[in-house]
Amino acid sequence: MKKKILVTGGAGYIGSHVIKALGEKGYEILIYDNLSTGYKELVLYGELVIGDIADITVFDRVIEDFKPDAVMHFAASIQVHESVLNPLKYYRNNTINTLNLVELLLKKKIRHFIFSSTAAVYGTPESTEPVSELSLLKPINPYGASKMAVEYMLKDLSPVEKDFNYISLRYFNVAGADQEGRIGQKYHEATHLITRCLKAAKAEISRLEIYGTDYSTPDGTCIRDYIHVDDIAEAHIVALEYLFKKSINDIFNCGYGHGYSVREVVKTAKEVTGVDFPVEEAGRRAGDPPYLVADNTKIREELGWKPKHDDLSYIVKTAWNWEKKL
Ligand SMILES: NC(=O)c1ccc[n+]([C@@H]2O[C@H](COP(=O)([O-])OP(=O)(O)OC[C@H]3O[C@@H](n4cnc5c(N)ncnc54)[C@H](O)[C@@H]3O)[C@@H](O)[C@H]2O)c1
């Protein structure tokens, strides 16, 4: 029989790509999303129920009717800058709503849970080595802290709720879009570097700002680990299949293990789009780590995850195909 997966936030950027992967694998999918930042048209498979996780009564009924075998939880607020201005929104939507969700799952004896965490839990790593899952957690904004709080909650729960198993996936910089251009990133406010380059190429924004050119990196700009969204989706599939086989509670980094500087991304975006868009060099932003790259040994070795799109040019091309359609 087909396994049933409940996906919160599945009408968003990453959730919709995971749904595509789940749908292609034949899972039965129910999406629960309030469409605050998501879009119906991004949902390629499954049934969409429009609702808010905070609306516990409705959500309880949805879970009761669907009886999922597993829950993947993407629903969250994700703007770092907004989290600094409105921290309570982040603790409410990302931490408290997840606590309520987990409580519901315990009540209904739903045993498998996959949580969307983030590299923001690492804050500003002191070394320029890739960070492993054992590196120090020191988020520097309420967004990262609201996710770290959930990680602690899940960890503290595991010794007492032995039938409840979870995997937290810490995503690094997710980018790119569906190869066929059916779905992609559609945020109200584009803050991600690759998307901003493409918006500059479309002249939707007047220029691309580079924040900080005097970091101790080879070209002076910050280095990030950009991972294609379909490889993130595949990480969810391997994590889910692993959870169905083994009772584990664990955390895995999702990144390629190497990074690109801001200047390298800008260069690739200019090559892919064929547009020499204006670039402005600005001062550093508070809280930007110079170097944030995943040590991905654990997810490769333990879950057998094999990324297929570790190629910046491919990432930018798929994002550009999508962006041109918006
Ligand atoms: N985009 C990245 O690079 C990145 C990196 C690390 C972690 N993440 C995590 O991945 C997850 C998905 O992010 P995304 O980039 O797809 O963002 P997104 O904004 O596109 O998706 C979030 C989805 O959740 C829904 N949602 C939000 N609050 C809800 C609520 N209370 N009830 C029901 N639905 C709700 C939104 O409508 C949206 O469809 C988030 O948990 C985010 O923290 C993203």
Q: What is the DSSP string of 196-233?
A: HHHHHHTTSSS-EEEE-S-SSSTTSS-EE-EEEHHHHH
Using a cut of 0.85, tell me whether the model's pTM lies above it: yes
Residue 14 Cβ < 6 Å to ligand 1: yes
Q: Which residues are catalytic?
A: 143
Under 8 Å between Cβ of 19 and 43: yes
Per-residue pLDDT of the chain (326 residues; tens, 9 = 90+): 799 999 999 999 999 999 999 999 999 999 999 999 999 999 999 999 999 999 999 999 999 999 999 999 999 999 998 999 999 999 999 999 999 999 999 999 999 999 999 999 999 998 889 999 999 999 999 999 999 999 999 999 999 999 999 999 999 999 999 999 999 999 888 889 999 999 999 999 999 999 999 999 999 999 999 999 999 999 999 999 999 999 899 999 999 999 999 999 999 999 999 999 999 999 998 878 899 999 999 999 999 999 999 999 999 999 999 999 99
Alpha carbon 155 to chain centroid, angstroms: 20
Atom of ligand 1 nearest to the CA of 42: 39
Establish how many alpha carbons lie within 13 A of residue 129's alpha carbon, considering only the half-sphere containing its beta carbon. Answer: 8
Atom of ligand 1 nearest to the CA of 174: 3
Between CA 65 and CA 126 the distance in angstroms is: 48
Q: Whose CA is nearest to atom 8 of ligand 1?
A: 118
Sign (positive or negative) of CA dihedral 153, 156, 158, 160: negative
pLDDT of residue 131: 98
Establish how many alpha carbons lie within 13 A of residue 168's alpha carbon, considering only the half-sphere containing its beta carbon. Answer: 20
Residue 93 Cβ < 6 Å to ligand 1: yes
Give the residue from 51, 69, 118, 63 showing the smallest Cα distance to 90. 118
Count of residues making up the chain: 326
pLDDT of residue 187: 81
Q: Whose CA is nearest to atom 11 of ligand 1?
A: 74
Residue 53 Cβ < 6 Å to ligand 1: yes
The alpha carbon of 175 and the centre of ligand 1 are apart by a number of angstroms equal to 14
Residue 118 Cβ < 6 Å to ligand 1: yes
Q: List CB contacts of 24: < 8 A, sequence separation 6 or more.
A: 45
What are the chain's domains?
A: 4-175+226-254 (3.40.50.720), 193-224+257-325 (3.90.25.10)
Q: Whose CA is nearest to atom 3 of ligand 1?
A: 174
The alpha carbon of 48 and the centre of ligand 1 are apart by a number of angstroms equal to 15
pLDDT of residue 288: 85
The alpha carbon of 75 and the centre of ligand 1 are apart by a number of angstroms equal to 5
Between CA 215 and CA 109 the distance in angstroms is: 49
pLDDT of residue 6: 98
pLDDT of residue 197: 98
Atom of ligand 1 nearest to the CA of 143: 43
The alpha carbon of 79 and the centre of ligand 1 are apart by a number of angstroms equal to 10
Q: Whose CA is nearest to atom 20 of ligand 1?
A: 12
Between CA 163 and CA 240 the distance in angstroms is: 16
pLDDT of residue 188: 82
Atom of ligand 1 nearest to the CA of 175: 3
Under 8 Å between Cβ of 320 and 273: yes
pLDDT of residue 189: 82
pLDDT of residue 103: 97
For every residue of 75-129, DSSP letters joined together read -----HHHHHH-HHHHIIIIIIHHHHHHHHHHHTT--EEEEEEEGGGG-S-SSSS
Under 8 Å between Cβ of 200 and 274: no
pLDDT of residue 199: 97
